[in-house]
Amino acid sequence: MMVHPVDPDYLPMTGFLPRLKLSDVAAARAVIRSMGAEDPMAAVPEGVAVEIRQASARDGSEIEVVVFRPAHRPAQPPAVVAYFHGGGFVFGDARTDVRVPSALAADLDAVVVSVNYRLAPEFPFPTPFDDCFDALAWIAGDNDLGIDPTRIVVAGISAGAGLAAAVALRARDAGGPAVCFQALDSPVLDDRLRTVSATEYTDSLLWNRPNAADSWHHYLGTNADLSRTSEYAAPARARDLAGLPPAYITVSSFDPLRDEGIEYAQRLTDAGVPTELHLYPGTFHGSAGAFPQAAISQRVNADYTAAIRRALAPSNHAHR
């Protein structure tokens, strides 16, 4: 296997990374909890207010959402980012995964709504996807968020980015809610795992082929017919990508998901969707989140935020 050299800034820290094995969901969740033992709200920038709200799911359940809002009220209704956390569909939650969404609220002067979708394997597809789409409908609907419903971005990382891509597909097919941009960081898109990177990276840092395969197994369910996987579960299976909102896609060089992100960006471009793709050498899946203090991580995060800011700029939005 050809291994991409890890960025030098990461080398002193990689020995502290845990070994995740998604074959044992309970153990994987325990590892993630141990990594986030400190108070997550300590990461929220000063001047960002946090509120827990409830949105209605189609099955009658309540979907918890965490709303990050700049403390000052702008003169005009702000844009909104519907954010979906990562975690391989099986771990993570909006109450503890606060660093990125709260930073987006501060840096973009926007409302960010992070969705606490239900997790597999207890709730396999379509429940997590339905939760995300129902939360998007709640955001765009008649509520007191006070946002501009013409400036809605869907965003996420890893499994959350895959959910964001799926929600964008469903919104297009259903004729709304109107999504103006999709920001996909290291998206999980293809359950077939047939790309070069998905085949080669069997022991890569944090995320590898076995974890990717286990993640899909948990998400799709034990009795799933893999020959008929829904495009709303695996957006790479969508035959038609035309009419989707403009996209920004980030991929890492040392990541089994790298090539499916690249292929999705190429297919979006071929379908006439304005798409920006960034491949960061020396990075691995989740590295910017694991080591946000590293220079390469800061660049990844700054580029991601800047892409959303450009998409929300009045001059850019006026031509949509």
pLDDT tens-digit series, residues 95-118: 999 999 999 999 999 999 999 999
Question: Is cis: bond before 256, omega within 30 of 0?
Answer: no
Structural contact between residues 112 and 160, judged by C-beta atoms closer than 8 angstroms = no
Calculate the alpha carbon distances from 211 to 195, 204, 206 in Å.
15, 10, 9
The yes-or-no verdict on residue 73 having pLDDT over 80 is no
Q: What's the rounded Cα separation, in Å, for the pair 113 and 84?
A: 9
pTM for the full predicted model: 0.95
Confidence of residue 19 (pLDDT cuts 50, 70, 90): confident
Q: What's the rounded Cα separation, in Å, for the pair 320 and 300?
A: 26
Q: Residues 81-108: what's their mean pLDDT?
A: 96
The yes-or-no verdict on residue 317 having pLDDT over 50 is yes
Given CA atoms 297, 188, 66, 28 in this order, what sign does their dihedral have? negative
What is residue 32's predicted lDDT score, i.e. its pLDDT?
87
Calculate the alpha carbon distances from 185 to 265, 277, 279, 298, 316 in Å.
12, 10, 11, 14, 22
What is residue 238's predicted lDDT score, i.e. its pLDDT?
98
The yes-or-no verdict on residue 1 having pLDDT over 60 is no
User: Which residues fall within 8 angstroms of residue 49, CB to CB, at 6 or more apart?
Assistant: 68, 69, 70, 71
**267 CA to centre of own chain:** 19
Question: Which segments of the chain are extended strands (E)?
Answer: 48-56, 62-70, 80-84, 111-116, 152-157, 181-185, 247-254, 275-284
Q: Residues 167-184: what's their mean pLDDT?
A: 98
Structural contact between residues 1 and 251, judged by C-beta atoms closer than 8 angstroms = no
Structural contact between residues 22 and 217, judged by C-beta atoms closer than 8 angstroms = no
Structural contact between residues 248 and 184, judged by C-beta atoms closer than 8 angstroms = yes
What is residue 306's predicted lDDT score, i.e. its pLDDT?
98
Q: Which of 145, 104, 146, 113 is nearest to 132 (CA)?
A: 113
Structural contact between residues 110 and 93, judged by C-beta atoms closer than 8 angstroms = no
Tell me the average pLDDT of the chain: 93
Structural contact between residues 90 and 121, judged by C-beta atoms closer than 8 angstroms = yes
DSSP classification of residue 142: S
The yes-or-no verdict on residue 2 having pLDDT over 80 is no
Structural contact between residues 10 and 296, judged by C-beta atoms closer than 8 angstroms = yes
Crossing angle, helix 127-140 and helix 159-174, to 10 degrees? 60
The model's pLDDT over 253-278, given as tens digits with 9 standing for 90+, comes to 999 999 999 999 999 999 999 999 99
What is residue 48's predicted lDDT score, i.e. its pLDDT?
96
What is residue 71's predicted lDDT score, i.e. its pLDDT?
84
The yes-or-no verdict on residue 129 having pLDDT over 60 is yes
Element of type H or E holding 103: helix 99-108
The model's pLDDT over 195-216, given as tens digits with 9 standing for 90+, comes to 999 999 999 999 999 999 999 9
Q: Phi, psi (5° rounding) for residue 217?
A: -60, -45
Tokens of 158: 């890893």
Annotated catalytic residues are: 158, 255, 285
Q: What's the rounded Cα separation, in Å, for the pair 12 and 6?
A: 11
Structural contact between residues 54 and 130, judged by C-beta atoms closer than 8 angstroms = no
What is residue 319's predicted lDDT score, i.e. its pLDDT?
45
What is residue 37's predicted lDDT score, i.e. its pLDDT?
64
More confident site: 128 or 76: 128
